[in-house]
Amino acid sequence: MIPYMKKAAALLLAAAASAAALTLDEALLSVEDAPSTRAAKAQLDADRRKTTAANANFLPRVDFKGSWTYLDRTLEMDLNSLRDALIQLQANDALERAKIQAAMAGGTLTPEQQQAIAQGAAAQFDAALPPFVETLREQSRFDAELTVVQPIFVGGKVLAARGAAKGQEARSTIALEQARSERISTVAKTYIDATLLREAVDLRRDGVAGIERHVEQAERLLAEGMIERTQLLRAQLALSTARADLEAEEGRYATALEALRIWTGRDDAPSDELRDVPLPWDSAGAQEAVLSRNLKTREIAAIRSQLDEKSAAERGQMLPTVAAFGSWQILPRELSALEPRWAAGVQVSMPIFAGGKDWSNWKSAKSEGERVEQLGAAWNEGLRVMVLKSWNDRVAAKNRWESLATSERLAEETLSNFEKRFAAGMATSLDVVDARLQYDQARLGRLKSLGDMAKASIEILVLANETSRLPELWNKGKTE
């Protein structure tokens, strides 16, 4: 190892030796505070609010509009010409009646009398009639209006929008579960790796100590003339190799500790012993659990549901829209005689022809739904293969772990025998070193197989969305 890397690994190992114990249960407490989990929670909250917003489309919309307007002039409707004509007609009628009355009395009216009568009647009618001028809009005016629109039928688009929002909320819920599951898997696998490497370091230290005892024995036997120097050199070479392997293992353990610290936010070293994670199903049960609970399968179903709602919305574009509306003028003094205080009604709109665009969009949405359905079927096929592979990996690791138990026992017995024979001068140092290597390899192989078993179980739990049961199964593995 590079010197500065050796120093860093030594510091990490020293810190781990003095750190508090960290169980897997405690390590998994960091899952809820993980950035990926918090991001998924925020997205779920946003989509829940969008669902609430989609529900608001069923309710009436009320708007207030206020404005101040200044025109270049006051707008008026001037009908004084009609008023003048009416006065003139009335004056003529009065004059004619006066002429008739004079004729019936046997006399006539002089031009001056006729003019006086006409002028008097015109003045009388002018005083009685108001001006025929109506102000339509003041030059400066304030307007304030309330409008209400209540959708009655919109072709199913409101229902589709709510369904799509609920579908997105379901996808965000699945994404949150996925973030938790992936984080649990990552933390658990890192914890298992660190635990495995911690026990591997202990095994290698035990191996180095055993070879050191063998070197001391070889030095003593060489001094007594019972072995050749080549046997001592072979023992020293084995010791140098074992120390190098131990140093490399300590480096890997230090890296695993740092990774665990990053994932959990804690400087504590793992304290649980390496163990299996027993699954609650057999092979067929695992297949069934994964196919019924897999998060990706549920996500594809949610996407299909959203596309069905999209198809419904596109179909709604071809249907009529019906809405009730009303308006209320808040400032009646600003209104002219031609403007109502309030108005209400029903509006209907119906698309007639849009070049076939709406029909094509509807068919496109239906095709997208069919495509996602087939992708879901393809995913389920691959899912079966993934479950089968992880299950077989677990079975293979378990078989190796069980078979290596016999190898470990035989290697331990062989090592003991060779050490005794070497002490008696009946075996070589090579025999002892080879026996030691076989013994250490069997023990390390069992450790790796046990770790592979546990990680294969985690893979199946992830596929079945059952990682929340990991602490329970991990603690159960301790007793089995």
CA gap 253, 15 in Å, rounded: 12
Give residue 8's pLDDT: 47
Domain ranges of the chain: 3-61+155-318+357-479, 80-131
Digit-coded pLDDT (tens) for 126-167? 888 888 887 777 878 888 999 999 999 988 889 999 999 999
Give residue 113's pLDDT: 81
- Residue 375 identity (one-letter amino acid): L
CA gap 95, 110 in Å, rounded: 12
Instruction: Report residue 344 as tokens.
Output: 């209400």
Give residue 480's pLDDT: 62
Give residue 4's pLDDT: 44
pLDDT in tens, the chain (480 residues): 445 445 444 444 444 444 568 999 999 999 999 999 999 999 999 999 999 999 998 999 999 999 988 888 887 777 888 888 888 888 888 878 888 888 887 778 788 888 888 888 888 888 888 888 877 778 788 889 999 999 999 888 899 999 999 999 999 999 999 999 999 999 999 999 999 999 999 999 999 999 999 999 999 999 988 889 999 999 999 999 999 999 999 999 999 999 999 999 999 999 999 999 999 999 999 999 999 999 999 999 999 999 999 999 999 889 999 999 999 999 888 777 778 889 999 999 988 888 888 899 999 999 999 999 999 999 999 999 999 999 999 999 999 999 999 999 999 999 999 999 998 888 999 999 999 999 999 999 999 999 999 999 999 999 999 999 999 999 998 756
Contact 297, 387 (CB under 8 A): no
Instruction: Report residue 282 as tokens.
Output: 């057999």
H helix and E strand count, the chain: 12, 8
What phi and psi values does residue 321 have, to the nearest 5 degrees?
-120, 130
Contact 217, 231 (CB under 8 A): no
| 3-class DSSP state of 464 | coil
Closest to 178 in 3D by CA, of 295, 31, 299, 33:
295
What dotted CATH number matches 3-61+155-318+357-479? Answer: 1.20.1600.10
3-state helix, strand, coil in the chain (%, to 5): 70, 10, 15
Angle (deg, nearest 10), helices 295-316 and 283-293:
30
What contacts 65, CB < 8 A, 6 or more positions away? 143, 144, 145, 147
421 to 414, 416, 425, 427: CA distances (angstroms)? 10, 9, 6, 5
Q: pTM of the entire structure?
A: 0.79
Instruction: Report residue 427 as tokens.
Output: 């075996």
Report the C-alpha dihedral over residues 230, 233, 234, 235, rounded to 10 degrees: 130
- Residue 328, strand partner residues: 146, 342
CA gap 384, 420 in Å, rounded: 54
Closest to 76 in 3D by CA, of 121, 8, 138:
138
CA gap 279, 390 in Å, rounded: 12
**Terminal CA-CA length for the chain:** 39
Give the Cβ contact number of residue 470 at 10 Å: 23
Closest to 351 in 3D by CA, of 161, 151, 155:
155
Give residue 7's pLDDT: 47
What contacts 370, CB < 8 A, 6 or more positions away? none
- Residue 138 identity (one-letter amino acid): E
CA gap 413, 18 in Å, rounded: 35
Instruction: Report residue 295 as tokens.
Output: 């998060």
Contact 264, 237 (CB under 8 A): no
